[in-house]
Amino acid sequence: MADKIRVTVWHEYRHERNTEGEAYKCYPNGIHAVIKDFLDKNDDMDVRIVCLDDPDQGLPDELLNNTDVLLWWGHGFHGEVNDELVDKIVTRVYRQGMGFIGLHSAHHSKPFRKLLGCTGNLEWGDNIKEVIWNLNPTHPIAAGIPKAFELEADELYSEPFYIPKPDDLIFGAWFEHGNIFRAGCTWARGLGKIFYFQPGHETCLSFYNPYVQKIITNAVRWAKPVEEPIDETCPYSGKGFLVSETVRFD
């Protein structure tokens, strides 16, 4: 792996380009620019931003194959993402250990659904006050995060959230209507690590919140590939000792 964590922030970047819209007022240069700004403060990260409308939908092989952690924000145009690209992302996570961080509406993105084999369906509603609870303070993604913190408004996401059981549930969300949600979850898949984090609707200001920024920063460090990924060759192959020959189930 390179000296720095090679981070690529993939963004759909359609909403904020409407200069008449609410999303533009919140993120005039795009959500990806704000994420890059706060990640760039870390000397151990090399951050690139790409968009759906870029050539190769932002992820030519050269860039994808040199990405240690991929962050993904998409909302209204998931269906436009090429299935071939999704397969390459999934392969890179499973086989080369690239980290994948799904942000907010990425719960319905093709890579998230394919990585986890789920619909990612959930219930949603208006932008309202949210409290994020730290459920797992010993986890590295929760480092420096208080017991709870408040977001003035974000989009209501509610259980039931159709995901596989997380390896670690790190944050829980409470919304003032009474809904709750698994807001920060991790999974290992193949050699890769996956984190999903709920805040970040395009007409809310959550990406400016220092705790949200800290969580995403922590998640990038947590999700980077291990230094020397195991190779998939069984060390006993060709040496006359094969597990399949010694373990019988019939």
Toward Zn ion, which CB reaches closer, 64 or 106?
A: 106
> How near is the Cβ of 244 to Zn ion at its closest, in Å?
48
Best CA proximity match to 129, nearest among 154, 148, 111, 159: 154
> How near is the Cβ of 157 to Zn ion at its closest, in Å?
8
Toward Zn ion, which CB reaches closer, 61 or 80?
A: 80
3-state SS of the chain? CCCCEEEEEEECCCHHHCCCCHHHHHCCCCHHHHHHHHHCCCCCEEEEEEECCCHHHHCCHHHHCCCCEEEEECCCCHHHCCHHHHHHHHHHHHHHCCEEEEEHHHHHCHHHHHHHCCCCCCEEEEEEEEEEEECCCCCHHHCCCCCEEEEEEEEEEECCCCCCCCCEEEEEEEECCCCEEEEEEEEEECCEEEEEECCCCCCCCHHHCHHHHHHHHHHHHHHCCCCCCCCCCCCCCCCCCCHHHHCCCC
Between CA 59 and CA 209 the distance in angstroms is 28
Size of the site for Zn ion (CB under 5 A): 3
Toward Zn ion, which CB reaches closer, 201 or 224?
A: 201
Toward Zn ion, which CB reaches closer, 8 or 105?
A: 105
In the range 182-221, which residues lie near Zn ion by CB under 5 A?
Answer: 201
> How near is the Cβ of 124 to Zn ion at its closest, in Å?
7
> How near is the Cβ of 203 to Zn ion at its closest, in Å?
8
- Residue nearest to Zn ion as judged by C-beta position: 201
Q: Which stretch binds Zn ion (CB under 5 A): 20-28, 90-98, 152-160, 162-170?
A: 152-160
In the range 42-101, which residues lie near Zn ion by CB under 5 A?
Answer: none
Q: 157 pairs with which residues across the strands? A: 124
Q: Find the binder of Zn ion among 11, 101, 155, 173 (CB under 5 A).
A: 155
> How near is the Cβ of 200 to Zn ion at its closest, in Å?
7
Name every residue whose Cβ is closer than 8 Å to that of residue 169 and which is 6 or more positions away in sequence.
135, 136, 182, 184, 185
Toward Zn ion, which CB reaches closer, 12 or 68?
A: 12
Toward Zn ion, which CB reaches closer, 90 or 185?
A: 185
Q: Which stretch binds Zn ion (CB under 5 A): 65-73, 127-135, 149-157, 237-245?
A: 149-157
Q: Which stretch binds Zn ion (CB under 5 A): 51-59, 127-135, 150-158, 231-239?
A: 150-158
Q: Find the binder of Zn ion among 105, 134, 209, 218 (CB under 5 A).
A: 105
Toward Zn ion, which CB reaches closer, 14 or 201?
A: 201
Q: Which residues bind Zn ion (CB under 5 A)?
A: 105, 155, 201
